[in-house]
């Protein structure tokens, strides 16, 4: 096999396996289908340029998410879009969460859609780790690489983000001994 063939196969394989997830990630973060498509395209264009230069990438998936994250940050610096809350109030949250192929593959319950929309109400430092872990299924080590933090920091942010999400949506807190805290008042 020639080098060009190997490069094309690598790019095609990663595009086929990761493009939907990258697009969803962009869509959740930007709340705009057009912007999400542009950033997804830019991400894979940059990846292709790195592949053509022959640079070695240790973790392709983490590389793609890192590039995507940086492009989203750049986009926010240029222009602040309409908020996810405003769009979800209009009833368009399904269009933001998943594209058509994902809708066909996975039927999301009302609770799942609600929780995904509430992730955006978390503090910035917890939004991305929780989303990447539980929506995209990335490992803490991959999240750490994307966010340029240690695996321990990524794991702590995931754990604290889940705790804050539980409080945000009103789930009861479980104590260390596995018993639910009593929320009844002594009237």
Q: Domain of 11: which CATH number?
A: 1.10.1740
Q: Identify whether residues 52 and 2 lie together within a single domain.
A: yes
Average pLDDT, the chain: 77
Q: 86-139: per-residue pLDDT in tens? A: 444 444 444 444 444 444 334 444 566 677 778 888 888 898 898 888 788 889
Q: Do 56 and 116 have their domain in common?
A: no
- End residue of a domain, out of 59, 79, 99: 79
CA distances from 175 to 38, 45, 164, 169 (A): 45, 48, 15, 18
93, HSE (Cβ side, Cα atoms, 13 Å): 18
In this structure, is residue 87 part of a structural domain?
no
* C-alpha R_g of the chain: 19
Same domain, 63 and 124: no
So what's the pLDDT on residue 175?
46
Query: What residue spans of the chain are helical by DSSP H?
Result: 3-30, 33-53, 60-78, 84-89, 93-97, 100-105, 110-119, 124-134, 140-147, 151-169
Name the pTM for this structure: 0.59
Give the model's confidence band at 49: pLDDT under 50 very low, under 70 low, under 90 confident, else very high.
very high
Residue 119, domain extent: 108-174
Give the CA distances from residue 181 to residues 29, 59, 173, 177, 178, in Å, rounded to whole numbers and listed in that order: 34, 42, 7, 10, 9
**Residue 69 and residue 146 in contact, taking contact as beta carbons nearer than 8 Å:** yes
185 within some domain: no
The pLDDT, as a whole number, for residue 22 is 92
Q: Are residues 9 and 72 in the same domain?
A: yes
Note the pLDDT of residue 153.
Answer: 94
Of 35, 60, 79, the residue at which a domain comes to its end is 79
Residues 75 and 113 in one domain: no
CATH value at residue 114: 1.10.10.10
Q: Phi and psi dihedrals of 180, rounded to 5? A: -75, 140
């Amino acid at each position: 096999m020639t080098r060009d063939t190997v490069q094309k196969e690598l790019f095609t394989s990663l595009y086929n396996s990761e493009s939907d997830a990258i697009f969803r990630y962009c869509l959740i973060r930007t709340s705009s289908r057009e912007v999400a498509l542009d950033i997804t395209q830019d991400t894979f264009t940059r990846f292709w340029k790195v592949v053509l230069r022959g640079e070695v990438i240790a973790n392709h998936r983490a590389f793609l998410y890192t590039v995507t994250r940086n492009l989203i940050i750049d986009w926010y610096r240029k222009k602040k879009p309409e908020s996810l809350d405003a769009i979800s109030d209009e009833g368009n949250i399904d269009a933001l969460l998943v594209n058509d192929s994902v809708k066909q593959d996975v039927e999301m319950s009302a609770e799942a859609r609600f929780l995904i929309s509430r992730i955006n109400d978390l503090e910035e430092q917890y939004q991305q780790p929780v989303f990447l872990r539980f929506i995209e299924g990335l490992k803490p080590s991959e999240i750490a690489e994307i966010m340029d933090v240690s695996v321990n920091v990524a794991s702590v942010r995931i754990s604290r983000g889940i705790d804050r999400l539980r409080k945000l949506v009103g789930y009861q807190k479980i104590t260390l001994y596995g018993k639910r805290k009593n929320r009844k008042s002594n009237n």
